[in-house]
Amino acid sequence: MTGGSVTLKEAAELTRSGDLWLFRGRKVADQAIRAVTNSPINHVGMAVVLEDLPPLLWHAELGRSLPDVWTGTHHRGVQLHDLEAAVTTWSNRYDQRVWLRQLDGEISRDMEDALLREIAQKDGTPFPAAVALAGRWLRGRVRRSAPLETTYCAEVVAGAYQSMGLLARTRPTNWYDPGRFWSGDHLQLEAGASLGDEIRVLVDPHPAAAGAEA
């Protein structure tokens, strides 16, 4: 699929590992991220869909409103969440608009294994403070990598793509910001993969079940 809109339930049924989930909010912090990075969005996550597990979202955030599927605990920073619960939280609680970009390319078992190793290594890594986040991104713009003491959402996705062989390692992960994963940036992927256009995801403002309070 390309363009148009789907419900969250439909999107969760469509999504596969490597698909991008993009978010644009209205709060001051969201606008600040977009202004500093000149990006149309302020948050990005990646779908993880493995065998019989429900669709999951791999991303980094300040909140701890949902249990991390990897550890079973509530914590801030890099997290693996139930995808529908996370998107509902970001849409309804954080007031974010949501899009899906589908990955066109084969995800092999070796790529899945590499992704799981990446999750095991980085899950729980703290999210940087605002000043530190800007510093990490600016270092990346001159192609200087930053230590894995903290990490932000675009770094998490870039690291996952690099570990799976979908993105070259010619740039450090902190070179990327959320806007690099928007279609207007023409992200160059490896292994013959490509990304489709954004599909707007419509989220029920009154879901039957809500996530636990932070």
What's the pTM?
A: 0.86
pLDDT score of 214: 40
Q: Are 173 and 140 in contact (CB under 8 A)?
A: yes
Assigned CATH for 5-201: 3.90.1720.10
pLDDT score of 144: 55
Q: How many helices (H) and strands (E) does the chain have?
A: 6, 9
Q: Are 78 and 122 in contact (CB under 8 A)?
A: yes
pLDDT score of 109: 95
Two tokens, residue 85:
């619960």
Burial 198-208 (b: 16+ CB within 10 A, else e): bbebebeeeee
Task: Determine the Cα–Cα distance for residues 23 and 109; give it in Å rounded to an integer.
Answer: 29
pLDDT score of 112: 97
pLDDT score of 173: 92
Residue type, 140: G
195 CB contacts (<8 Å, ≥6 apart)?
20, 101, 102, 103, 104, 181, 183, 187, 189
pLDDT score of 120: 95
CA gyration radius, the chain: 16
Mean pLDDT, 10 residues at a time, over the chain (214 residues)? Answer: 85 97 91 81 96 94 92 94 97 96 96 97 78 50 52 91 97 91 90 96 79 42
Task: Determine the Cα–Cα distance for residues 126 and 213; give it in Å rounded to an integer.
Answer: 20
